Chain A
Amino acid sequence: MNSTRGEFYGSGEPAIVVRDLDVVRGGKRVLPGVSLDIGRGVVTGLVGPSGSGKTTLIRSIVGVQIVRGGTVTVFGLPAGSPQLRSRIGYVTQAPSVYGDLTVRENLDYFARVLGVSRERVAEVIRTVNLDAETHQPVGTLSGGQRSRASLAVALLNDPELVVLDEPTVGLDPVLRRDLWATFHGLAERGHTLLVSTHVMDEAARCDQLVLMREGGIVAVAPPRELLERTGTDDLEDAFLAIAEEEGS
């Protein structure tokens, strides 16, 4: 991995600043006062077991979550500000595309909403490798293809911040590698990526990791540093070591 990517706060101000974020969902306190900085121009991985609050944190950053307290600032603006809507690309876990429309029709629609050219539509279809499925209704595609269609929508307007909630679940290894190359390509151009995952080989591809557990943040560090700190040689063991440390 490129060594310069490890220096995660290299490009000045953090892209995202979370302070004392307090979120209650379904009567449960999912985030009990979380604080976190996320650097610009890097791929940050949000890692933790399901139910640890990853999606809630992501929704709060995108500005679609009702929060009880605390602040979330993205590029210096409060999360959810109208000015941020054209600067953030967001992919939810469930593919948010129209199943009865083709890949092309879906992207054409969102492109018009975002004010993006038709050339760009063809470009993102290539990026997510759906050229052969362009004219197929999304509802007839496989799960992996559908999530790629959803990812393509998020990339349409070349957003400065791309937020991806478990984007590569169910994708084959070759495609997963290609998409990660795309993510790092975006980061090299100064874009900020926030990716939630519970797959360890994906966590290893991130520049910076945020480890979550039961709504709290238990570690923030590049993958290599986590390995060194815990004296382990794979991330799975490193996470277990940190979780046990926390527990004791």
Chain B
Amino acid sequence: MSPRITLATAVRVGAQLRRDHRTLALIFVVPPALLALIKWLLDNDPGSFARLGPPLIGLFPLVIMFLITSIAMLRERTTGTLERLMAMPLAKLDLLLGYGIAFAGLAALQASITAAVGFGLLGVESDGPAWAVVLLAIGNAVLGMALGLFLNAFAQTEFQAVQFMPAVILPQLFLAGLFVPREAMPDALQTISDVLPFTYAYDGLVKVAADEIGGRLWLDVAVVVGCIALALALGALTLRRRTP
């Protein structure tokens, strides 16, 4: 591993993102716009919006970063740039951390914009500090990114990679407690929910919003960090120096 190569990779990925203005616009505009839509949708049910607001701010980056990194790494695989890098003196971690730094930066910007619009204009409220919501959002985005870097290895085409979003991300969102409180779920689903990383990503946001800074929040953060490390390690296993 070399800091020089990791940083160069982060700069390169950043330059690629900067070049794509439309994607950037979507990344920064869509989450606040969706948040505004949900506020409008729940016009007659302000209690529900108050409950959903902070978790939504913190979960948008996860979903979006998952999609973008899946496609970006799949492109590296299919255009031959990954093979070229694997034939160079670059450690697998250089590549993964380079992506991590670039996308964490992007996620920080995205989460800050969404949080600014949410807390500033849409009246989202959190008993805990807003910066903690942003911080968790960045952590969640890195989790989405790490999952994307790993799972794209199972897709051969971009069409397949996009399908991982409904296949992998949506069920976790359903089971995290966002739509139906976990206590109200059938026991079997609650058990499944216990082992899914999104459950902890969501719960952390709920705890911050309720200003319950304590043991359970630290557990949530630890699980998310652990899942990031695990997904990156599994991602490194899918980067092959030799291919069939």
Binding site for B on A (CB under 8 A): 25-26, 62-66, 80, 82, 85-86, 88, 90, 92, 94-101, 105, 109-110, 112-115, 137, 153
12 A-B pairs with CB atoms under 8 Å apart are A64-B87, A64-B243, A66-B244, A96-B83, A99-B79, A100-B19, A100-B20, A101-B16, A109-B12, A112-B8, A114-B88, A137-B19
Closest A residue to B80 using CB positions: A96
Q: Which residues of B, 87-127, contact A by the 8 Å Cβ criterion?
A: 87-90
Complex interface: chain B residues within 8 A of A82 (CB): 89
* B15 beta carbon closer than 8 Å to chain A: yes
Q: Report A112 CB to chain B, min CB distance, Å.
A: 4
Q: Give the distance in Å from the alpha carbon of A113 to the alpha carbon of B7 in the complex.
A: 10
A113 touches B89 (CB 8 A): yes
A85 touches B88 (CB 8 A): yes
A97 touches B81 (CB 8 A): yes
Closest A residue to B20 using CB positions: A100
Q: Report B79 CB to chain A, min CB distance, Å.
A: 6
* B242 beta carbon closer than 8 Å to chain A: yes
Which interface class (under 10, 10 to 19, 20 to 34, 35 or more) fits B?
20 to 34
Complex interface: chain B residues within 8 A of A86 (CB): 88-89
From known contacts A113-B85, A115-B4, infer whether A98 and B241 are also in contact, taking CB-CB under 8 Å: no
* B84 beta carbon closer than 8 Å to chain A: yes
A153 touches B12 (CB 8 A): no
Q: Give the distance in Å from the alpha carbon of A63 to the alpha carbon of B88 in the complex.
A: 11
B241 touches A64 (CB 8 A): yes
* B5 beta carbon closer than 8 Å to chain A: yes
Complex interface: chain A residues within 8 A of B11 (CB): 109
Q: Report A41 CB to chain B, min CB distance, Å.
A: 22
Q: Report A29 CB to chain B, min CB distance, Å.
A: 13
Complex interface: chain B residues within 8 A of A97 (CB): 81
From known contacts A64-B241, A64-B243, A65-B242, infer whether A109 and B8 are also in contact, taking CB-CB under 8 Å: yes
Q: Give the distance in Å from the alpha carbon of A66 to the alpha carbon of B243 in the complex.
A: 6
* B210 beta carbon closer than 8 Å to chain A: no
Complex interface: chain B residues within 8 A of A153 (CB): 84
B12 touches A98 (CB 8 A): yes
Closest A residue to B84 using CB positions: A96
Complex interface: chain B residues within 8 A of A88 (CB): 87
B89 touches A114 (CB 8 A): yes
Q: Which residues of B, 9-44, contact A by the 8 Å Cβ criterion?
A: 9, 11-12, 15-16, 19-20
Q: Report A27 CB to chain B, min CB distance, Å.
A: 10
Closest A residue to B82 using CB positions: A96
Complex interface: chain B residues within 8 A of A115 (CB): 4, 89
From known contacts A64-B86, A100-B19, infer whether A94 and B243 are also in contact, taking CB-CB under 8 Å: no
Complex interface: chain B residues within 8 A of A101 (CB): 12, 15-16, 19
Q: Report A43 CB to chain B, min CB distance, Å.
A: 21
Q: Give the distance in Å from the alpha carbon of A97 to the alpha carbon of B5 in the complex.
A: 17
Q: Give the distance in Å from the alpha carbon of A114 to the alpha carbon of B90 in the complex.
A: 8
Q: Give the distance in Å from the alpha carbon of A115 to the alpha carbon of B4 in the complex.
A: 9
A64 touches B19 (CB 8 A): no
What 6 A-B pairs are tightest by C-beta distance, nearest first?
A96-B80, A112-B8, A109-B12, A96-B84, A85-B89, A66-B242
Complex interface: chain B residues within 8 A of A94 (CB): 79-80
Q: Which residues of B, 207-244, contact A by the 8 Å Cβ criterion?
A: 241-244
Q: Report A60 CB to chain B, min CB distance, Å.
A: 9
A92 touches B15 (CB 8 A): no
Q: Report B85 CB to chain A, min CB distance, Å.
A: 7
Q: Report A30 CB to chain B, min CB distance, Å.
A: 11
A66-B243, A88-B87, A95-B80 known, 7 other contacts, Cβ within 8 Å: A96-B79, A96-B83, A98-B12, A100-B16, A100-B20, A101-B12, A115-B89
